[in-house]
Structure 1
Amino acid sequence: MAANIHLQQYLNAADRLPLSYSKLDSGTAEFRYRTHRFLIIGADTPINDSSSATITRYKHRSQRILAEKGLTVPRFEKCSTEKEFVNRLKQFDCDIVVKPTDGIGGKGVSIKPQSPEDKREAFRIAKAESKTGRVLIEQYIEGSHYRILILDGKMIAAARRYPASVTGNGSDTIDSLINSYNLACKHDSSRAPIRVDSEVANCLREQNIAITDIPAAGVRIELRRNCNLSTGGTTAECTDSVPEVAIREAIAAAGSLCLRFAGVDIIYTPGGEAFINEVNCNPGMRIHYYPSSGRTIDVARYVLQAILDEYDRMDLQLLAAPKTALDHVEVLEGLTDTVNDSL
């Protein structure tokens, strides 16, 4: 039974720790540490408080909390109907991003739609991907994209994220290059195929490029604006070169949402600002184990060790409890003796 790619990293890390485990199915395993037991489902671990984890699943809620805490987030508005969407658009005199409030993996996200019809279509796409039917309009921020992992108030890993792209060879069309890339993905589980959709069409049109064009050798053609791995994005490990302001914002974001472990998506602008784009309570592992360039960071081991450390603290408190109770008994006995002597 092959394990989920995220779960497998936790299983591999557990083999190097004083942990035993049993796989319950391809995406779930039970872990045991002394008298303690816990489950991991895919990338979901018990390290975070359930209320905090729930908040992060709704982008408008987490962004509102971060904004109220004084952190830097893109301007945003939430809407549920197309009429409401059109009215909310009037508040934006800039390029926008349209996304589901509860989406994952870049699904339903449209970046920089231009015409009124393109924007309405972006709303429909986002709404179709939303389980709640709610859509977020967000100020588009130009800059470099980072995923920063925070564990107990410290950065443990970071990756620079890049959108899906192909590189010309001087003979194949963009469409053919995409097909070749997707064929290679079938033999490499660390990569996701590039789906040609309206977002790809819009991105190419913005560059005045057609999918039938033949790029010159070595010329890189961006195909999307979002950087999600699930839509063909790539990454470069960059833990030692993240801008300090981005690290500070990421740590503050995780702390503001009461998350011990979080993947914070930061957009770092050319002007040196760090915008919090999104906070994930159960960040995926693939970006740190299979970067397109740079070293691998064993994130799962950090997380498991933090869970074990917490159990150790709990056990120490339990060991201390009987001594405390005995002290109370001794105090009561002393008080009783004092009372008896006075009678």
Structure 2
Amino acid sequence: ITTALDQLVQHFGLGDYHQGLVKQVKDAFADPSHTLAAQLLPHIKDKSLASFALDKALAYHDYDWTAHYALKGYEEMELSTQMLLFDAIQKGIHFEILDEQDQFLKLWHKDHVEYVKNGNMTSKDNYVVPLAMANKTVTKKILADAGFPVPAGDEFTSLEQGLAYYPLIKNKQIVVKPKSTNFGLGISIFQEPASLENYQKALEIAFAEDTAVLVEEFIPGTEYRFFILDGHCEAVLLRVAANVVGDGKHTIRELVAQKNANPLRGHDHRSPLEIIALGDIEQLMLAQQGYTPDDVLPDGKKVNLRRNSNISTGGDSIDVTETMDSSYQELAAAMATSMGAWACGVDLIIPDETQIAIKENPHCTCIELNFNPSMYMHTYCAEGPGQAITPKILDKLFPELVALKHQN
């Protein structure tokens, strides 16, 4: 038997995993103590494995709650995709992972098939819409043509062009960001006029992420993320930029390490919060506040490590859906509709949220639309109740299941 298995592995060129399985079979033939039955034998008490099974069940229960937000067995997938899969299972929707690395799923119920990428990219969006939203220049022009407020600025395709623009903005508050990237990568924000040296550094950081860079006016106010689905606002999030608060004892580097020890923080969108980095952008931000990573912060002193508040760059998430005025939710939904977007994130800067927003007097500025908005940050929040979005995605993809549920 083992010879036949060896030949099978060799014939199909199978790897280490299958070779290891054959080795286990060989070891069990050579020494019966390696068999599954022999391994279970010491755990039998009073002719029963009940005690052993209970111990295992408790261990698995503890393991499951080490990261309660994760779908066990699928932790390598992006967290929003894990959440969608969990809800698909609850609703009785069949699924197949077509490409784990690309987060590409096939979902089906009876003969109804839907393909989903990244948890919320579906056939409901026209192909050109995500392409338009990925291009910040195109997005701004479409929104401006529709009468919505966007920040003024210009686009550059070389460092030399960007540097030549400096005399026009040297006394202004500005934002420097890549043209077509997401997750807050490569963004530098100057709430005070930037020196030529810092401005050049910001351009270099942005050009490292894209071949084109935008330099825009900085809009004062508070940034909120609105999650829009099918013309309706489903969630609103206040994202607080990555930061640490001093205790008079530890350096900024040590405070970052302490905050990163939070089990909710991880890497690559597999956790509700992201690990805080101390890279070029963070150190540039610290320098603007007069600090280095190895300085000890005074007790109670808060410093921001980023000006952009993306969760993907270490920010904190606060759910404000229930307190945000509906006029802003409706305005954000109208912006998404003007782009033709079915599911998207709308980032608004709002100076005073007590003001009522209308299109003619919006009291806000749209700084970005996101074609691939993370859903997990609306559900598993650092503060606030959180909003479940993935079930609503599935209800709209498979309305027949909603109708069936109401019938029952």
Alignment TM-score > 0.5, same fold: yes
- CA separation in 1, counterparts of 2:167 and 2:91? 55
The 10-residue stretch of structure 1 (180-189 or 93-102) with the greater mean CA deviation from structure 2: 180-189
Displacement of 1:55: 0.4
User: Does structure 1 conserve the Cα–Cα contact (< 8 Å) formed by 2:273 and 2:377?
Assistant: no
Structure 1 equivalent of residue 51 of structure 2: none
- CA separation in 1, counterparts of 2:290 and 2:276? 20
Report SS of the residue matched to 2:317.
strand
Closer/same/farther in 2, CA of residues 128 and 206 from structure 1, 3 Å limit: closer
Of 255, 270, 278 in structure 2, the residue corresponding to residue 177 of structure 1 is: 255
Of 370, 394, 404 in structure 2, the residue corresponding to residue 304 of structure 1 is: 394
Of 283, 299, 316 in structure 2, the residue corresponding to residue 234 of structure 1 is: 316
Of 223, 226, 229 in structure 2, the residue corresponding to residue 145 of structure 1 is: 223
- CA separation in 1, counterparts of 2:378 and 2:157? 35
Displacement of 1:162: 0.5
- CA separation in 1, counterparts of 2:325 and 2:137? 26
Q: Are positions 1:102 and 2:180 aligned together?
A: yes
User: Does structure 2 conserve the Cα–Cα contact (< 8 Å) formed by 1:185 and 1:193?
Assistant: no
Q: Are positions 1:268 and 2:343 aligned together?
A: no
Structure 1 equivalent of residue 307 of structure 2: 225
Report SS of the residue matched to 1:104.
coil
Structure 1 equivalent of residue 276 of structure 2: 194
Report SS of the residue matched to 2:322.
helix
Closer/same/farther in 2, CA of residues 224 and 185 from structure 1, 3 Å limit: farther
Report SS of the residue matched to 2:223.
strand
- CA separation in 2, counterparts of 1:89 and 1:73? 21
Structure 1 equivalent of residue 195 of structure 2: 115
User: Does structure 1 conserve the Cα–Cα contact (< 8 Å) formed by 2:265 and 2:273?
Assistant: no
Structure 1 equivalent of residue 129 of structure 2: 52
Structure 1: unaligned runs, 5 residues or longer: 314-343
Q: Are positions 1:283 and 2:373 aligned together?
A: yes
- CA separation in 2, counterparts of 1:111 and 1:246? 24
Displacement of 1:202: 2.9
Report SS of the residue matched to 1:301.
helix
TM-score normalised by structure 2 residue count: 0.71
Structure 2 equivalent of residue 205 of structure 1: 287
Q: Are positions 1:258 and 2:315 aligned together?
A: no
Structure 2 equivalent of residue 6 of structure 1: 80
Displacement of 1:115: 1.0
The 10-residue stretch of structure 1 (84-93 or 13-22) with the greater mean CA deviation from structure 2: 84-93
The 10-residue stretch of structure 1 (60-69 or 26-35) with the greater mean CA deviation from structure 2: 26-35
Amino acid at match of 2:203: F
Q: Deviations over 1:264-317 (max 9, x none)?
A: 11111149521111111221122112210111211011112112239999xxxx
Displacement of 1:5: 1.1
- CA separation in 2, counterparts of 1:86 and 1:215? 34
Q: Deviations over 1:211-232 (max 9, x none)?
A: 3333344433221101111111
- CA separation in 2, counterparts of 1:245 and 1:94? 31
- CA separation in 2, counterparts of 1:74 and 1:148? 18
Closer/same/farther in 2, CA of residues 186 and 270 from structure 1, 3 Å limit: closer
Closer/same/farther in 2, CA of residues 205 and 124 from structure 1, 3 Å limit: closer
Q: Deviations over 1:101-135 (max 9, x none)?
A: 111111111111711122122222211211xx111
Query: How do residues 3-82 of structure 1 correspond to structure 2 at under 5 angstroms?
Result: 3-26=77-100, 27-46=103-122, 47-82=124-159
User: Does structure 1 conserve the Cα–Cα contact (< 8 Å) formed by 2:232 and 2:330?
Assistant: no
Percent identical among aligned pairs is: 27
- CA separation in 1, counterparts of 2:207 and 2:261? 31
Amino acid at match of 2:116: I
User: Does structure 2 conserve the Cα–Cα contact (< 8 Å) formed by 1:249 and 1:276?
Assistant: no
Amino acid at match of 1:135: V
Structure 2: unaligned runs, 5 residues or longer: 1-72, 356-362, 404-408
Closer/same/farther in 2, CA of residues 260 and 243 from structure 1, 3 Å limit: same
Which structure has more relative contact order (CA 8 Å, sep 6+)? It is: 1
- CA separation in 2, counterparts of 1:293 and 1:134? 36
Report SS of the residue matched to 1:175.
helix
- CA separation in 2, counterparts of 1:286 and 1:146? 16
- CA separation in 2, counterparts of 1:186 and 1:237? 16
Displacement of 1:247: 2.0
